[in-house]
Amino acid sequence: MALIVQKYGGTSVGSLDRIRNVANRIKTLRDEGNQVVAVVSAMGGVTDKLIAMAKELIDEPTEREMDVLLSTGEQQSIALVTMALHQIGVDAVSITGRQAGISTTGSHTRGRINAINPDMMKNYLKEGKVLICAGFQGLREDGMIHTLGRGGSDLSAIAVASALKADVCQILTDVDGVYTSDPRVVKDARKLPEISYDEMLEMASAGTKVMQSRSVEFAKKYGVVFEVRSSLNNNPGTIVTEEHDQMEAVVIRGVSIERSQALVTITGIPDEPGMSAKILMCLADAEINIDMIVSNIAYDGLARHSFTMHSSDLGKASAALKPCIAQLSPDSTILTESGIAKLSCVGIGMRSHSGVAAKMFEALGEAKINIGVITTSEIKIAVTVDEHQIEDAARAVHEAFNLDKAPTA
Distances (CA, A) of 216 to 47, 66, 204, 206, 226: 22, 25, 8, 13, 10
The entry of ligand ADP, Mg ion, ligand ASP, none near residue 4 (CB within 5 to 8 angstroms by kind) is none
Q: How many positions of this chain bind ligand ADP (CB under 6 A)?
A: 19
The residue nearest ligand ADP at its CB is 9
Cβ atoms 131, 95 nearer than 8 A? yes
Nearest-approach distance from CB 120 to ligand ASP, in angstroms: 22
- Site mask, ligand ADP, residues 179-198, x = CB under 6 A? x-xxxx--------------
CB of 139 within 8 A of CB of 145? yes
* 207 or 349: CB nearest ligand ASP: 207
Binding mask 372-401 for ligand ASP (x = CB under 6 A): ------------------------------
Cβ 150 to Mg ion shortest distance, Å = 8
CB atoms within 10 A of CB 212: 24
User: What one-character DSSP code corresponds to residue 135?
Assistant: S
Give the binding-site size for ligand ASP (rule: CB under 6 A): 12
Q: Mark 95-134 with x for binding to Mg ion (rule: CB under 5 A) and - for no binding.
A: ----------------------------------------
Q: Which of 73, 97, 151, 237 binds ligand ADP (CB under 6 A)?
A: 151
Nearer to ligand ASP, 13 or 275 (CB): 13
What is the chain's percent helix, strand, coil content, to nearest 5?
Answer: 40, 30, 35
Rounded CA-CA distance 297/2 in Å is 58
Exactly one of 97, 101, 111, 135 binds ligand ASP (CB under 6 A); that residue is 135
Which one among 73, 111, 138, 151 touches Mg ion, defined by CB under 5 A?
151
Beta strands 130-134; 92-95: pairing state: parallel
Q: Quote the CA–CA distance of 329 and 33 in Å, as a whole number.
A: 69
In the complex, least distance from residue 155 CB atom to ligand ASP, rounded to whole angstroms: 8
User: Which residues inside 347-376 make contact with ligand ASP, applying CB under 6 A?
Assistant: none
Is residue 36 within a helix (H) or strand (E), and if so which, with residue range?
A: strand 35-40
Which DSSP string do the residues of 72-108 spell out, in sequence order?
HHHHHHHHHHHHHHHHTT--EEEE-TTTTTEEEESST
Bridge partners of 35, per DSSP, are 3
Contact region for ligand ADP (CB under 6 A) — 46-54, 64-72, 168-176, 318-326? 168-176
152 binds ligand ASP (CB under 6 A): yes
Residue 129: strand, helix, or coil: coil
Cα–Cα distance measured from residue 100 to residue 121, given in angstroms and rounded to the nearest whole number: 6
Cα 195 to Cα 225: distance, rounded to the nearest angstrom = 11
> Which residue of 65, 174, 362, 386 would you call a contact of ligand ADP, by CB under 6 A?
174
Backbone φ and ψ for 36, nearest 5 degrees, come out as: -130, 130
Reduce the DSSP state of residue 148 to 3 states and report it: coil
Query: Residue 198 and residue 352: Cα distance in Å, rounded?
Result: 16
Q: Minimum Å distance from CB 124 to ligand ADP?
A: 25
Query: Please, what is the minimum distance in Å from the beta carbon of residue 132 to ligand ASP?
Result: 15
By CB under 6 A, tell whether 73 contacts ligand ASP. Answer: yes
The nearer residue to ligand ASP, 150 or 316, going by C-beta atoms, is 150
Stretch that binds ligand ADP, among 76-84, 175-183, 260-268, 316-324 (CB under 6 A): 175-183
- Interface with ligand ASP in residues 5-64 (CB under 6 A): 9-10, 41-42, 47
Q: Where are the alpha helices (DSSP H) in 146-224?
A: 153-164, 197-205, 213-222
Distance CA(306)–CA(184), nearest Å, equals: 31
Footprint of ligand ADP on this chain (CB under 6 A)? 9-12, 41, 151, 173-175, 178-179, 181-184, 208-210, 254
Q: Using CB under 5 A as the criterion, which residues of the chain lie in contact with Mg ion when the complex forms?
A: 9, 151
Interface with ligand ASP by CB under 6 A: which residues? 9-10, 41-42, 47, 73, 135-136, 150-153
